[in-house]
Structure 1
Amino acid sequence: MGLATATIANAEDYRQVLSSSRPVFLLFVSARCPACSQAVPLFERVAANYPEVVSMVLDCENTPRHPEVKGTPTWLIYLNGELKEAFKGLGAPEGQDQFVEDTFARYAR
């Protein structure tokens, strides 16, 4: 599976994940994407500090198409099943660490 750490097999899997009462962070990646290979370790490192957030890294090749994902990496944030934010990439390289940390902190309870 490469970079991915989770699997979504169908629309029902999406519904089940998004039905969580916790914030849900979905990072869509591709094995052929150089930016993804840098985004995944950062995302996972920060996510480890926020167990109250459901965090998933999904390989676009093995995940049903999501209408908000038009390239990789794409980060989608859901709260109570509703899309709150969508990011193409994780920002400028020099500010990525802070951007990811700030975003997780904003949604952590």
Structure 2
Amino acid sequence: MGTSLVSVTDAEYDAAVLESEKPVVVDFWAEWCGPCKQVTPILEELAAEHGDQITFLKLNIDENPATPASYNVISIPTIHLYRDGGLAKSIVGAKPRAALLRDIADHTGLRL
């Protein structure tokens, strides 16, 4: 069993994401975002199931505007998949669990 979805800030981003030895999934979200609320429970489940292989993080764009701006995040939810310190895939909008899991597996090396 893995871990949960952990919050990250602008100040922590580089160390937590770009310098991670594991693949990283980052959910850019906001409290007022309805579709974000649909995606969060899915990501929490995936973090619990696969957190030993992949780090799952969330970044509140209202509290941490610098990182989303630097990655041109203009719509939320946006989910970024990082591998070896680089952005491997950007997923914009809410997706069902199966589609998210497939995208994450395709770009992080997760074995399903």
- Mark yes or no: TM-score above 0.5: yes
For Structure 1 versus Structure 2, the TM-score category normalised by the shorter chain is 0.7 to 0.9
Length-normalised TM-score, structure 2: 0.79
The alignment's C-alpha RMSD in Å is 1.8
Distance apart, 1:41 and its partner CA: 0.6
Length-normalised TM-score, structure 1: 0.81
Aligned to 2:91: 87
Aligned partner of residue 62 in structure 1, secondary structure: coil
Measure the CA separation in 1 of the matches of 2:6 and 2:93: 18
CA contact (8 A) 1:9 1:64 kept: yes
User: Where in structure 1 are there 5+ consecutive unaligned residues?
Assistant: none
Aligned to 2:73: 69
Aligned to 1:55: 56
Opposite residue 79 of structure 1, the aligned amino acid is: R
Deviation per CA, 1:60-84: give whole Å up to 9, x if none.
1112332231111000011111101
User: Where in structure 2 are there 5+ consecutive unaligned residues?
Assistant: none
Distance apart, 1:46 and its partner CA: 1.5
Opposite residue 62 of structure 1, the aligned amino acid is: E
Measure the CA separation in 2 of the matches of 1:47 and 1:104: 11
Q: What number of residue pairs does the alignment pair up?
A: 100
Identity, % of aligned positions: 24
Measure the CA separation in 2 of the matches of 1:49 and 1:5: 14
